[in-house]
Amino acid sequence: MSINISPYMKFERPEWAMLRDSVPMTLTQDELASLQGINENLSLDEVIDIYLPLSRLINYYISANISRQLVLSKFLGKSQKTPYIIGIAGSVAVGKSTTARVMQALLTRWPEHRKVALVTTDGFLYPNKVLQERGIMNKKGFPQSYDTKKLLQFVSDIKSGKPKVLAPVYSHLEYDIIPDESIVIDNPDIVILEGLNVLQGTVNYSQQENRVFVSDYVDFSIYVDADIDLLHHWYVNRFLKFRAGAFSDPTSYFHNYSKLSEDEAMKVANTIWKEINERNLMENVLPTRERANLILSKGEEHRVNCVYLRK
């Protein structure tokens, strides 16, 4: 007899898709079409079968959280409102930012019309200048390439209900932090925090310091998962897309690659994947998967085949 000790309930795609049924779909065809503006390759079946049930589930959790805050407000005798933080983790190129933007659109459009802010932890990478000084330019995305203290301060400020919190900005095209630019997180109901490292702990913590995790501040976490060969393929495709898009833009980091032939560019992308992103995945990202409340397991064409939900 085998003992099932997994903390997750497993749903095959059709089973999961049925879970949106008890609530009528609140999106019109037009709204669904506008969601495709997020990503031209996003299929509407994916939104309906996977992301609608997910937003329904999260909506329930948020309502329960609001009730819990009311209890605390009664107990303390003062109003207690803090944003609900949803974390989205997973490999480079798995589709975290696409998932985050779809969830933002769906949670905003839900009848409660909650205000949903989106933040990527890319903004908390050290600028290239610092990475170069430290000799870790080829470790971008690894735990040591992030200003984790700044990120922890950021999530802590959000969670303490501070009305306006600033998030720094990273540009994929410039391949660097944009100096003096930030986005203002202004009193949201929900914050979606997306990045490789949202389920990771602090680095270089000393014994005197308490061990704090970004995920301590996250109310619901999602890990987007896919086989390594698919991730590799998606990474190379996106690299080639960036390269094509950056052709005419001499300020873009990818402009350098535009001089290479397609074959040579593919070789560069393969090397960056193997040497940096795949290593980071195996050493630092994948080991955090089982900390997530929910795992979206993707196959070919970014199609979610199966969903795991923590019991």
Ligand X SMILES: Nc1ncnc2c1ncn2[C@@H]1O[C@H](COP(=O)(O)OP(=O)(O)OP(=O)(O)O)[C@@H](O)[C@H]1O
Name the residue among 102, 100, 105 with its Cα closest to residue 119: 100
**284 part of the interface to ligand PAU, by CB under 6 A:** no
State the binding partner of 302 from ligand X, ligand PAU, none, CB within 5 to 8 A by kind: ligand X
State the first-to-last Cα distance of the chain, in angstroms, to the nearest integer.
Answer: 22
- Binders of ligand X among 153-212, rule CB under 6 A? 196
> Is 95 marked as binding a ligand?
yes
The site for ligand PAU, by CB under 6 A, has a size of: 8
242 φ, ψ (degrees, to nearest 5): -60, -45
| Binding test (CB under 6 A) with ligand PAU, winner from 122, 194, 219, 225 | 122
Name the residue among 117, 95, 101 with its Cα closest to residue 35: 101
Q: Are 272 and 239 in contact (CB under 8 A)?
A: yes
- Binders of ligand PAU among 131-190, rule CB under 6 A? 140-141
> Is 97 marked as binding a ligand?
yes
Kindly state the smallest distance separating residue 243's Cβ from ligand PAU, in Å.
12
Name the residue among 209, 274, 184 with its Cα closest to residue 236: 274
**272 part of the interface to ligand PAU, by CB under 6 A:** yes
CA dist 16 to 20, 42, 263, 304, Å?
8, 18, 41, 10
Task: Give the CA diameter of the chain.
Answer: 67
| Binding test (CB under 6 A) with ligand PAU, winner from 23, 130, 276, 309 | 276
**46 part of the interface to ligand PAU, by CB under 6 A:** no
CA dist 173 to 42, 103, 109, 236, 237, Å?
22, 24, 30, 15, 15
> Hey, which residues does 119 pair with through a beta bridge?
193
In one-letter notation, the amino acid at residue 138 is N
**243 part of the interface to ligand PAU, by CB under 6 A:** no
| Binding test (CB under 6 A) with ligand X, winner from 55, 98, 104, 293 | 98
**255 part of the interface to ligand X, by CB under 6 A:** no
**294 part of the interface to ligand PAU, by CB under 6 A:** no
**93 part of the interface to ligand X, by CB under 6 A:** yes
> Is 246 marked as binding a ligand?
no
> Is 160 marked as binding a ligand?
no
Nearer to ligand PAU, 52 or 231 (CB): 231
> Is 268 marked as binding a ligand?
no
State the binding partner of 276 from ligand X, ligand PAU, none, CB within 5 to 8 A by kind: ligand PAU
The 123-142 contact track toward ligand PAU, x by CB under 6 A, reads -----------------xx-
> Is 93 marked as binding a ligand?
yes
Contact footprint for ligand X (CB under 6 A): 39, 41-42, 46, 90, 92-98, 196, 234, 237-238, 302
Q: Which residues are annotated as a binding site for ATP?
A: 90-97
Contact footprint for ligand PAU (CB under 6 A): 92, 122, 140-141, 196, 272, 276-277
